[in-house]
Amino acid sequence: MGRLERLPWRTIILVVLAVLILATIAIGAFRTLTEGAYSADAWRDFIILGLAQGAIYALVALGYTLVYGILRMINFAHGEVFMFGAFASYFFSAAYAESGFLDREPLLSLTILLVVAMATSAGVAMLLERVAYRPLRGAPRLVPLITAIGASLFLANTARGFFGSSPRGYRKPEVLEGSWTFLGGDVPKIRVVVLLTAALAVVALSLFVARTKTGRSMRAVAEDSEIASLMGVHVDGVIVTTFAIGGLLAGIAGVLYSMTFEQVNFFMGFQIGIAAFTAAVLGGIGSIAGAAIGGLSLGLLQALGPSLILTGYHIPSPFQLREAFTFLVLVLVLIFRPGGILGTGEAEKV
């Protein structure tokens, strides 16, 4: 092996792989565009869809990023936190839709839905931390990870037992039906609302972390929890707060997602969870801006990628492969740039 190891095999393989991938993308995109499979309007719709979807990913991704930043653990069950928020708000929205309150007072009812979803998600996240993760603090790495997987499955199936396995239709206020004309095309109103709400939430979170005392404690614990505790920071309290904030954001995402896709079901957390985690890694896990950028990029990649690249190769039903595309992006990011877009590009060892 001695001689072989002197050759930079890894680098060679990675470069070849990168060239191959770029070539595949370029050829696919070129062929799709020259064949004119989609009109300009279709591309614009893809982009708006991608951005709105990405905004939701960003909100959920923030939950992963915050927890990872502080505990260095991946909270696999975060997707289920999101799902519980969506379900809780569903029951209110269904009741309000029936009584007509939803259409009469859209702003007020939306606020209530958001508050309900945020409270539920935050509650589930805090409970999860208390019951499943806190007893494992300081345990070998594998242990909390396996726990998190189990918690994810357990929570999803708890929802299945509580609320049943059939999906339920989610009504949105009439005001949000239809679309606005914008830049010479129709943009569904709900997408605009999703983007604005998510942007607001991200800004609020950044301010919170940057300006408040709690935010400062969070940053201190993320930096070094032992020293932070010596400086008088209540580490357990900060951890709970972090989970709660992640839950609040996931709750917002839950309402926005349900209104976009007009349904809730018990397994919705899994796909969103994975996509959001991918977004967090893509942007650079541990960074708030990274989660936002990663979310939007992933949304765009998902919306544009399959049609732009796969159509060029005449692969049937490219959208079926959309999720596979997500995972592929994740794998490639981790191989080529484990630190993410905003990261250092260095693989974290150990």
Partner 1 sequence: MGPVGVRSAIAAGLIGFVGSLYLALVGLTERFADLELIGEQITLGRLLIVLPPLITGFVVSRPRVVAGERRVASLGQASAAGAFAGGVAGAVFGAAVAFAEWFGVDRIREVFITVSPTLIEFLTFEQGVAVGFVILTVLGLIAGGVGGALKAASSRVRRPIVVGASVTVLLGLLQRIIPVAMRQLDLDPSVLYLPSAGLTVPAAIVVFALAAGANVLWTRSGQQVRARFRATASEQPIVRTAVLLAILAIASTVPLLVGTVISEVLGTVMVFMLLGLGLNIVVGYAGLLDLGYVAFFAFGAYALALLTGATLNTTTGAAAPAFSLDLSFYLSVWIVAALAAGVGVLIGAPVLRLRGDYLAIVTLGLGEIVSILTQSRWLQPVVGGPQGMRGVTDAAIGDISFRPPQNFYYLALAFVMLAVFVSWRLSSSRVGRAWNAMREDEQIADAMGISTTKYKLLAFAMGGAIGAIGGALFAVKIGSLTPASFQILVSITALAVVVLGGLGSIPGVVVGALVLIGLPGLLREFEEYRQLIYGGTLVAIMVLRPQGLIPNVRRTRELHEEEVEQDAWARSAAQREEPYATVVVGDTVDEEERST
Tell me the residue ranges of DSSP E strands in the chain.
168-169, 179-182, 185-188, 263-264
Dihedrals φ, ψ of 314, to 5°? 55, 40
**Pick from 57, 250, 277, 286: which binds partner 1 (CB under 8 A)?**
277
Instruction: Rule CB under 8 A: say whether 348 interacts with partner 1.
Output: yes
Shortest reach from residue 223's CB to partner 1, in Å: 19
Rounded-to-integer distance, Cα 253 and Cα 250, Å: 5
Contact window for partner 1 (CB under 8 A) among 25-33, 169-177, 253-261, 329-337: 329-337
- Asked if 91 interacts with partner 1 (CB under 8 A), we say yes
Using CB under 8 A, which of 151, 202, 253, 291 touches partner 1? 151
Paired residues of 169 in beta bridges: 263
Cα–chain-centroid distance for residue 126? 19
Decide if residue 143 touches partner 1 (CB under 8 A): yes
Which residues in the 227-256 window bind partner 1 by CB under 8 A? none
* Cα–Cα nearest to 102, from 167, 53, 201, 170: 170
Kindly tell me which residue out of 334, 337, 341, 342 binds partner 1, with binding defined by CB under 8 A.
Answer: 334
Q: Which of 78, 65, 76, 49 is nearest to 289 (CA)?
A: 65
Closer residue to partner 1 (CB): 197 or 326: 326
Alpha carbons 179 and 188: distance in angstroms, whole number: 4
SS3 37: coil
Q: Is 330 in the site for partner 1 (CB under 8 A)?
A: yes
Nearest residue (CB) to partner 1, 212 versus 320:
320
180 near partner 1 (CB under 8 A): no
DSSP conformation class of 263? E
Between 17 and 42, whose beta carbon lies closer to partner 1? 17
Nearest CB to partner 1, comparing residues 176 and 330 = 330
Residue 244: CB atoms within 10 Å: 18
Say how many residues make up the chain: 350
Note whether 324 binds partner 1 by CB under 8 A: yes
The residues that touch partner 1, with contacts defined as CB under 8 A, are 1, 73-74, 91, 94, 132, 135-147, 149-158, 160-164, 270, 274, 277-278, 281, 315-317, 320-321, 323-324, 326-328, 330-331, 334-335, 338, 347-350
